[in-house]
Structure 1
Amino acid sequence: MAFEIGIMTFGEITEDPVTGAVPSPRQRARETIEQAEVADQAGLDVFGVGEHHRGDFVGSAPSILLAAAAERTENIRLTSSVTVLGSEDPVRVWEQFATIDLLSAGRAEIIAGRGSYTESFPLFGYDLRDYGDLFREKLDLLLKIREQNPLTWQGRFRPALVDADIAPRADGETIPIWVGVGGSPASAISTGRLGLPMALALLLGPLTFHEQTVDLYRQSAAEAGHDPHALPISINVHGYVGRTSRQARDVMYPYFAKGMAENNHQRGKGLLIPRAAFDAQASPRAGLLVGSPQEIIDKLLTYHELYGVTRAIIQMGFGGMPQKEHLEAIERLGTEVAPVVRREIASRERSAA
């Protein structure tokens, strides 16, 4: 299984901590498409747009941004990161991503998640007390839509479907559906039981944070009759690829700290991160992927060795990093990091065969 490397964005609209400038929603939307285009040209494998329903994010409709990106790219896979499935209609999700699949000649994916930001639930009339049940039921419906058409289905949270013709269908055989997991043992177990790819999110913490999560996922997959080693796992983390270690940290820190303080208040308040704490998270045994190209290569290889991940998606530019620095990092990731990581992992797998 080839190792894939990509980027994702949530399109934050944040005051620049250096200049004080605030990008307009139009600017952020256009920059998002440019990021996809540069990532595609640089040879990256995946481009993702996350979903938030607040004024400090431009990504309330990721499928529309991904459809626009489909028209400006040729090879890169286009994914949500994530689709907050509990507050969405799975029928509409399928229709949107199947349309992206047609536009992109089969490059669409869905990462379905419960959502750590929960503003969409009251916005669309859902009770947060049903948070877990909503996700389970809607994931079941989304998977059945993928498997069969027409479809008859009944659940608790939406009207029943009777011989429903849900179109369009995928451009190719199917649309990959991943499940986003933030570390909940129950989420890892249920994802493994279903035999679905798992996209692990690591915000802050040690590199080994998800060891138990991965073990539970693979164990439950095996118990359900799936080959655990054939199931893809992604690690999704914050990072930045600079010219040198110091330059990468100096560029990323003020924006990352600003974003964590101002765009991360889904639970009532932001998170203040001193520079020393940030530098500690950028160290070899911590989760952030920030540093020189060689440091990023080394840490990606460590992630692969530790978890057996088959994909890494880096959220670069969090907190409103200027587009120039953001695009430079995307190019370094695609031209200086990705080819080395792919060759090294392929070589290791041939040696182990």
Structure 2
Amino acid sequence: MKIELGLSSFADNHEIYTEEGSFPAISNAERIRNIVEEIQVADEVGLDVYGLGEHHRHDYAVSSPATVLAAAASTTKNIKLSSAVTVLSSDDPVRVYQQFSTVDAISNGRAEIMAGRGSFIESFPLFGYDLKDYEQLFDEKLQLLMEINQNEIVHWEGHLRSSIHGLGVYPRADKTMPIWLATGGTPESSLKAGSLGLPITYAIIGGNPKRFARNVAMYKAMAESHGYQSKDLRIASHSWGYIADTDEKAQIEYMPSTEAHYNIIAKERGWPPFTYEHFQREIGSNGAMYVGSPETVAQKIIETIEALGLTRFMLHLPIGSMPHERTLKAIRLFGEKVKPIVDEYFENK
């Protein structure tokens, strides 16, 4: 059984404080250049996919994943290049398809689109959308994106977005591009993806990953009820994580950036601040962080894949302004040490 392993990033860029001193946020330009290098290294060490998120905030560097992925496409050979996510509700499906078909051309067929609502809402007022249309915008635009992906000449009736009557969308990808639906775990998203036969990605960033087995079961049942074969479904998860030579080193290097990142969101959303106890719980066997030595991380990934029936696992790396050289080393350990362990385990399944 072939399991894809990859990385995801939101290009987050926060100052962090450690016992070694502070690591300030870098410029957005430097962060973007670092991401291109991270993708190159991920390709070199044999990872299968890299997903890049879209945000419109000062503490995230990338607002146009397709542009950055296009830059990486010309310097990589095998790795699949995906958004993670494209905030489809506040974007235009025609432009999304055109941008990713361009990435697909540059990469020789390696582009994917991961569509989602996003966990932030800054893009709605920025692009002139009303939050009261949150659900309907996503549903309508997903329908249009799927129509464009399947058909060169588009006939589509819209309500919040203007209709398209017999117009072509170019450039065309050489084949139908994969469109994944991303979700934080709402049952409705699992049911929607299943009814459409779309591959699904679960963002698991807290609590026991195994609790998502219920969502996966709903997704599969809905897909099968609409005529899709369970064996053809693709299921992914992405979770925060970090790899170093030892468990202790990984924890020491990872916690400060995780704490800084979490507390920014916690302050905005009224969550309690991050604590050492929280960190220890999440990196434990029943938590959603994959932090430790290659052996520790590999074993936890294997357990999650088996519990949820995944076909793809994505490690979200890095968080905050972790020093770039540490990120690159963690990526190398993921590809050179973790991946062989996971691959060998599933080769006999």
TM-based fold match above 0.5: yes
C-alpha RMSD of the superposition: 1.3
Find the aligned partners of 2:26 and 2:104 in 1 and give their Cα distance: 30
User: What pairs with 1:90-109 in structure 2 (closer than 5 Å)?
Assistant: 90-109=93-112
What is the rounded CA distance, in whole Å, between the counterparts of 2:272 and 2:322 in structure 1?
Answer: 18
Asked if residue 69 in structure 1 is aligned to residue 72 in structure 2, the reply is: yes
Q: Secondary structure at the match of 1:17?
A: strand
Alignment correspondent of 2:290 = 289
Q: What is the distance in 2 between the residues matched to 1:323 and 1:56?
A: 16
Could you give the per-residue CA deviations for residues 277-316 of structure 1, whole angstroms, max 9, x where no partner exists? Answer: 1011001122111111111111111111101101011111
The Cα of 1:13 is off from its aligned counterpart by: 1.9
AA matched with 1:93? V
Q: What secondary structure sits across from 1:58 in the alignment?
A: coil
1:165 to 148, 163, 168: 168
**Secondary structure at the counterpart of residue 229 of structure 1:** helix
Assess if the C-alpha contact under 8 Å between 1:259 and 1:320 holds in 2.
Answer: no
CA distance in 1, matches of 2:33, 2:130: 34
- How many pairs are equivalent? 346
Contact 1:118–1:266 (Cα < 8 Å) also in 2: no
| 1:337 aligns to 2:338 (yes or no) | yes
Q: Does 1:146 align with 2:149?
A: yes
Is the Cα–Cα contact under 8 Å of residues 260 and 319 in structure 1 kept in the other structure?
A: no
Alignment partner of 1:324 is 2:325: yes
Q: Which amino acid aligns with 1:37?
A: Q
Distance in 2, matches of 1:110 and 1:94, equals: 9
Measured against aligned partners, the alpha-carbon deviations of 1:20-50 in whole angstroms (never above 9, x if no partner) come to 4221111101101010011011110011110
Farther off after superposition, 14-23 or 119-128: 14-23
1:5 aligns with 2:21: no
State the 1:16 CA deviation: 2.9
Correspondence list, 1:3-152, <5 A: 3-18=3-18, 19-152=22-155
Match of 1:252 among 251, 254, 262: 254
CA distance in 2, matches of 1:267, 1:138: 28
Deviates more, 1:281-290 or 1:13-22: 13-22
Q: Please give the per-residue CA displacement for 1:123-148, whole angstroms capped at 9, x wherever unaligned.
A: 11111111111111100000000111
Q: Which amino acid aligns with 1:148?
A: N
Distance 2:234 2:344 in 1: 18
Give structure 2 stretches of 5+ with no counterpart.
none
Q: Name the CA distance, whole Å, in 2 between partners of 1:88 and 1:265.
A: 27
> Does the CA contact (< 8 Å) of 2:266 and 2:273 recur in 1?
no
Per the alignment, residue 351 of structure 1 pairs with: none
Paired residue for 2:207, among 187, 194, 205? 205
Partners of 1:276 and 1:21 in 2: CA distance = 25
Q: What SS does the aligned partner of 1:131 have?
A: helix
Residue 347 of structure 1 is matched in structure 2 by 348
CA distance in 1, matches of 2:126, 2:267: 14
1:231-268 per-position Cα deviation (integer Å, ceiling 9, x unaligned): 01001100001111111111110001101112x36954
Q: 1:259 to 1:41 in 2, by over 3 A?
A: same
Cα distance in 2 between the residues matched to 1:345 and 1:133 = 40
Query: Which deviates more, 230-239 or 16-25?
Result: 16-25
Q: 2-side partners of 1:36 and 1:219: how far apart?
A: 35
1:89–1:267 CA distance, 2 compared to 1 (3 A): farther
**Distance of 2:271 and 2:256 partners within structure 1:** 15
> Using the alignment, how far apart are the partners of 1:192 and 1:254 within structure 2?
38
Check conservation: 2:41, 2:331, Cα contact below 8 A: yes
CA distance in 1, matches of 2:157, 2:268: 33
**Which residue among 238, 241, 249 is the counterpart of 2:240?**
238
**What is the distance in 1 between the residues matched to 2:16 and 2:186?**
34
Equivalent residues of 2:181, 2:193 under 8 A apart = yes
Superposed, 1:190-229 pairs within 5 Å as 190-229=192-231
Amino acid at match of 2:79: I
Contact kept, 8 Å, 1:261 with 1:269, in 2: the verdict is no
Retained in 1: the 8 A contact 2:305–2:313? no
Kindly state the Cα deviation for residue 271 of structure 1 after the two structures are TM-superposed.
5.5
